[in-house]
Structure 1
C-alpha cells in the first residue's frame, strides 16, 4: 500500500474529528494530514469550496466546485480563493474544479476553465498535470477536470501521476510526490521580512475598499472568540497589502536554477581538496594536491555547464507544451523594464474594469 502524508479530498462522504482533518464551510473539500505530519497552521474561517493547511513549509489548498454552482457563484468562489492564497508561498492548489481547458489537455476550453486560469494568473503558478492524462472516467467517456497548480519551486521537485488505486468513484486518485531532501534548497525556511508598509503611498479610499472587500470575503460563518483576533489581523494585513507596497527586507538568496545535489557534492569535494592544499603549503604533498584541485575545478565547471545546457533544453521544450509558461516569463523579464507592484484588491480591480469597460 502506498504511503500518503497529505490527502486533498473533494466531495468527501463524511468528516473526521480531530486536528489533522480540515474541512471547508460546505463540507465538500477537506485536507487530511496523516502519520507524523502535523499542520503548522490552517484556515481559521471556513469558506465554501476550498480550505488550506500549511505543513512542511508548503500551503496546500483543496478545492471542490460542484457542477451545480452558477457562473456567479463559481466566480465568487475563485475570487475568495485568490484572495486567500495571496501572500502565501510556496503554494499547491488542487481539486475538482469541473473545468475544461486545452491547457491541461481537454479538447475545448469552457467558461469555467477560462475563469479559473484568469483567477490564478496573478500568481507564479505552473500546471502539475501531464496534459492529456485523464482524471475522470465513466462509461460515457473520459475527461480532465482535476487540475493541480503549484509554484515553480514545487514543480521542479514534484512528480504528478494518476494512480491505479480503486477509489469507488468516477474520479481517479492522483498522487503528487514532492522531493523534500536536505539537498533541496528551494524549501529552506526564509528569513523573516520586515512587517511594514511604505506609508507614503497610503490611500485612504483604496484602503477602505480593500478593508470592506476583505470583511465581505471573511464573513462566511460565525467567528469564534479565539479566532477573532487572528481573522481581524489577517484582514488588516490583506487590506494594507492591497493599498501599499511592503517595505523591502533583506531578500532571501535562492539557489540558482542549475544547482542540484550532484553539483553540491562535486563542489564539496573541491573545497575539501582546497583546504588540504592550503594546509599542505611548504610540504612535499603540495604538487599532488595542486593537480588534484585543478582536476576537481575542471570537473565542477563541466558539471555546471552540462546542467545549464540541460535546463535550457528543458525550457525550450516546455514552450512547445505551454507557450505562456516559464519560457514566456523568462523572455518577458528580459525585454521589459522592472514594473512596480500591481493592484490585487478584488474591489479595486472591479472598479477599474467597470470604469475602463463600462459596457
Structure 2
C-alpha cells in the first residue's frame, strides 16, 4: 500500500520491520510512529509500555495498543494511564490505536466491559470518536471495529475527514486515514449556531427528531453530531459567567483530575475492596490539592493587587472599589465633607519649642 501521508501510526507492528526502519516506538514495541515528509515536524512527548505520544503543530497525538488477552483490571489500569496523560497534555489531543474493546459510542454494535471503561475515559477527557461503524478488522469471516480514532470535542468534527482505506495492508487490520481540513483549523473554527434563551426542550427534540428521520445513513458519529449541534443552542443564563479572578489553566487541570477520580470512585463503590480505597484516597488527595491551589491563587492575586496599588492608584484596585458603589456615586454634603476633612486633617495643638 502506497499513499502520501505526513505521519504514520502503526499498532502492534512487526518487530523486525520496526527495527529495520528505525521507527519511534513505545518501550514495549507495541506502537510505532514515523514520518515520510518534512511537512509535519514532530517531537517525542511521552513513551511508556503500550503508549506513545508526540507533539506536532497544535496537536498531541497519543497512540496506544493493549492486548486482548490482558485481564480487565490491567485494562482499566492501562486506560487510567491514558486518561491522566490526556488530561495533562499541553495541547488538544488526537487519540489513535487498537484498544481491543467494543463500545457503541466508538462505532461497535454492542458494548462490553472493556467498552464501558473506554466510554468512561471518553467522558472524562472530552473526546469524541470519528469511527462511523465501518469495520477495521477482519479475520476468518469475522468483522469488527478495533482501530479507533478520537479527537477533542472542542473541535468541529467537520474539520477532520476520517475513512477506512480499501488497500491491502498484509494484515487482518485495515488502514484508516485521518485528514485535517486546513481551512477549518481549530484557530479558525466555524461559527457556532445561535444560542437560545432557556432550554426549550420541545423545540430541540422536534428538530433533532426531524433530522434523524431525514438522515438515511445514521451512524454513531452522525447521531452524535446532530445531538451536539442541537444541544449547543441550549443555554441558561446561569452559565453566562466570566472566570473568577483567581482561575488559571493549572487549576482547571487539577479540577479535571478531581472529576476523573470522582467518577472512578463512584464506579468502584459497589465492588469495594482495595481498588475502591485507592480511588478514594486519590480523590481526597486531588481535592486537597485543588483547595490548596485555589487558596494560593487567591493569596497571590491579593498580593499582586496590593503591589499594583502603589504604582497605579487608578488601576484595578480603584476599579474594584468604585464597583462597590454601583452606578450612583456617594453624595458629598457639607456635613460629611466636614467630617472627611477633619479625619484627613485633624486639629492638634501647636508645638512650642523653648
> TM-score range with shorter-chain normalisation?
0.5 to 0.7
The equivalent of 2:143 in structure 1 is: 142
Counterpart position of 1:69: 70
Report the counterpart of residue 224 of structure 2 in structure 1. Answer: 322
Match among 7, 29, 35 for residue 33 of structure 1: 35
Superposition CA RMSD, Å = 3.7
Quote how far apart the aligned CAs of 1:69 are: 1.4
Asked if structure 2 preserves the Cα contact closer than 8 Å seen for 1:136 and 1:172, the reply is yes
Q: Which entry has the higher C-alpha Rg, 1 or 2?
A: 2
| Structure-1 separation of matches of 2:128 and 2:268 | 31
Aligned residues of 1:22 and 1:53 also touching (Cα < 8 A): no
Give TM-score scaled by structure 2 length: 0.57
Q: CA distance change for structure 1 residues 47 and 2 in 2, over 3 Å: closer, same or farther?
A: same
- Structure 2, unaligned stretches of length 5 or more? 194-206, 213-219, 244-251, 273-354
Deviation at 1:104, TM superposition (A): 3.5
CA change 1:17–1:38 in 2 (3 A) is farther
The answer on 1:186 being equivalent to 2:186 is: yes
In the other structure, the counterpart of 1:256 is 191
Does the Cα contact within 8 Å between 1:319 and 1:325 map onto a contact in 2?
A: no
The verdict on how the C-alpha distance between 1:58 and 1:76 changes in structure 2, with shifts beyond 3 A counting, is: same
Query: For residues 316 and 335 of structure 1, what CA distance do their matches in structure 2 show?
Result: 27
Deviations 1:269-316 (A, max 9, x none): xxxxxxxxxxxxxxxxxxxxxxxxxxxxxxxxxxxxxxxxxxx98995
Find 1:22's aligned residue among 21, 24, 29. 24
Q: Displacement, 1:347?
A: 8.9
Tell me whether 1:100 sits opposite 2:102 in the alignment.
Answer: yes
Q: Which residue of structure 2 lines up, in the alignment, with residue 239 of structure 1?
A: none
Residue of structure 2 in register with 1:49 after alignment: 50
> For residues 287-302 of structure 1, what are the structure 2 equivalents within 5 Å?
none
Q: Deviations over 1:152-199 (max 9, x none)?
A: 42622111111011111111011111112xx435247xxxxxxxxxxx
Q: Which moved more, 1:48-57 or 1:349-358?
A: 349-358
Which residue of structure 2 aligns with residue 116 of structure 1?
118
Report the secondary structure of 1:80's partner residue.
Answer: helix
Per-residue CA deviations over 1:202-247 (Å, capped at 9, x if unaligned) read: xxxxxxxxxxxxxxxxxxxxxxxxxxxxxxxxxxxxxxxxxxxxxx
CA 1:96/1:2 → structure 2, altered by over 3 Å: closer, same or farther? same
The DSSP-based 3-state class of the residue aligned with 1:156 is helix
* Distance (whole Å) between structure 2 residues aligned to residue 158 and residue 323 of structure 1: 13
Distance 1:5 1:177 in 2: 10
Separation of aligned partners in 1, 2:230 and 2:221: 8
Distance 1:354 1:38, change over 3 A: closer
**8 Å CA contact retained: 1:319, 1:328:** no
Unmatched 5+ stretches in structure 1: 189-253, 259-311
Could you list the runs of 4 or more consecutive aligned residues of structure 1 that deviate by over 6 angstroms after TM superposition? 312-315
Query: 2 CA distance for matches of 1:21 and 1:313?
Result: 46
TM-score by length of 1: 0.56
Whether the aligned pair in 2 keeps the contact of 1:101 and 1:110 (CA below 8 Å) is yes
Provide the aligned length of Structure 1 versus Structure 2: 237
Distance across 2 between alignment mates of 1:158 and 1:65: 26
Deviation at 1:57, TM superposition (A): 1.7
Residue 114 of structure 1 deviates from its aligned partner by 0.9
Instruction: Name the SS of the counterpart of 1:147 in structure 2.
Output: strand
